[in-house]
Amino acid sequence: MIDPSNDRTEPTNAQAGTNARSPSPVAAREDPGAGAHGESAATLRGVVEMVRRVMRSDTASVATLAVAEGTVTWKATSGFNSLGEAHKEIVNPLRGMFAEQAASAADMTVIEVRNVGGELPASEFPLHSAEGLRDLALVRLRARGETLGLLGIGYRTSHRLTPDEKELLESLAEMAALALDNTRLLETVTAGKKIWEQTFDAMPDGIIVHDGLMRLTRCNAMAAEMMGFEQPAEAIGLACAEAFARLFGERAAAFHMNTRTQGAASSFEIQAEDSRRYLVAVAPLDGTEGGRGSSVITWSDVTQISEMQEQLSRSRRLATVGQLAAGVAHEINNPLAAITTCAEATLRDIRSAPDLDAIAAERSWNFYLEEIVRQALRCKAITRGLLDLSRQRRARREPCDINALVERGVLLLSQREEAQGTPVRTELDPQIGEVATDEVLVRQILDNLLTNALDAVERGGSISVSTALEGERARIEVADTGAGIPAETLVRIFDPFYTTKEAGKGSGLGLAISATLAEALGGALTVESKLGAGSRFRLWLPRRAPEQRDEG
């Protein structure tokens, strides 16, 4: 279609040099980006290389138009010496008579631009004028009734297109428009996939997907981290049972993998070996690659929510018990006082009469009366604990040296006869400083925790007490190396009158009262325990400014 007699049948020296330096489609260096984006960019580069050879032009280029933003983005170029082999997009302003005409043209009519570096200002075609081009030919690229961009060819010497060349350029533009449209669609899909993957990995909940053979086909970054992998790809192909074992422990995997995760949708709460709680949801996937039995499993850490719910439930129970205890304690204390008084008076009378004292000793009346007094006093101590449980005392907020308080508590513990031979280690954080709290209530809680730890350790065991500053909270931790607390007991550990001690050695009010006092301090009392590994009780106190009290 090109006339052999045309003066462009042989390339000029400038053109020949350009062709020699220009990369071929095969040898073109790939974009820094990999995958679909790199493939689409390589396709466009191949198109402009072909256009330049067929049209025997010095340069060829494909651009996209953004009329609303007023920009033109050159997606692929060929024959531009100033760009070398750097395959990158170049953005220029969409301005000037010819550029705007090309953007608004109603068909694919070729627009010729003469004397680019002479009569026209270089700002209209900055990319082309920098190359010393004299004449350009532009044709709009359209697909599915939409303007996508421009195809341009340039000549460093004067060149006017023949009718056949214009027809050929329009045919090439149809091919370039198809390639550009495919590139745009591929980039849209790729961008959507990237956004989906970023969202998938950014989710704070763990997500895994398994196929019908119970093998992982996908997982997000949170799930991979919890399973001990650096990258989600490392978990692909892992057996779902092994994934559950890594996430929640062997026992949880053995139970839930057999009964919950294949078939119908389900949700359940699970407690991991580290005592954290998770809400797990299983949703079957139909029509997936894995076939029948594929599911997506998600889980959320609900430890804090569960603790708050338990704390609220405990507070409600304590409030109910407290109202009952207040009335019962007042009613019982009067008869107890009478019983104690009568028993002590009888004991005095017996001891004051030698004959009667001998008979009492022979028949153990003294022991019986003394036991009546002891048990009556014990009942009074229990009712006093009930009153402490029911009182809604307002905690004071005054500067308190937490480390000094702990040191005093540990010193008093070590002086007890039953504590002899039990080592007590301390690890105090010097950064904790003073905390505005009620020292009396904190000491009462600490004494209860130390006493319980002493009761829990066996011969050869030990107790450790530590303090730490964690954000806006101060923490006092009392840990023991005792037998630990079973899970079914742990959920009731703060209930009033619940105790695991032998009869007569505990009323079951110590931890209940301690939890109530911790709430009055604006903090919380938590516990972690595992059979055979001891227990850890933590008292959390908020770091607040001292309370301002009116003087006068």
Q: What is the pLDDT of residues 139-159, one digit of tens each?
A: 888 888 788 888 999 999 999
Q: Is residue 93 classed as helix, strand or coil in its secondary structure?
A: strand
* Residue entry with tokens 């010095």: 58
**What's the CA gap between 193 and 199, in Å, rounded?**
10
Q: What is the pLDDT of residues 53-65, one digit of tens each?
A: 999 999 999 988 8
So what's the pLDDT on residue 391? 58
So what's the pLDDT on residue 290? 46
**What's the CA gap between 129 and 83, in Å, rounded?**
13
Those residues of the chain that have pLDDT short of 70 are 1-38, 84-87, 95-108, 117-122, 258-264, 286-292, 314-315, 317-319, 321-326, 330, 382, 384-394, 417, 497-508, 545-552
Which candidate, 250, 239, 208, 210, places its Cα nearest to that of 225?
208
Name the DSSP class of 82: G
Q: Edge-to-edge strand order for the sheet containing 295-301?
A: 216-219, 206-210, 295-301, 277-284, 266-271
H or E stretch including 551?
A: none
H or E stretch including 101?
A: helix 97-104
Q: Are 364 and 397 in contact (CB under 8 A)?
A: no
pTM as predicted: 0.42
So what's the pLDDT on residue 23? 33
Q: Please count the other Cβ atoms lying within 10 Å of the Cβ belonging to residue 83.
A: 17
**What's the CA gap between 453 and 456, in Å, rounded?**
5
Domains and CATH numbers, the chain: 13-194 (3.30.450.40), 204-301 (3.30.450.20), 307-390 (1.10.287), 398-542 (3.30.565.10)
Total residue count of the chain as it appears in this document:
552
**What's the CA gap between 73 and 94, in Å, rounded?**
9
Q: Are 14 and 58 in contact (CB under 8 A)?
A: yes
**What's the CA gap between 463 and 481, in Å, rounded?**
7
* Residue entry with tokens 């301002």: 548
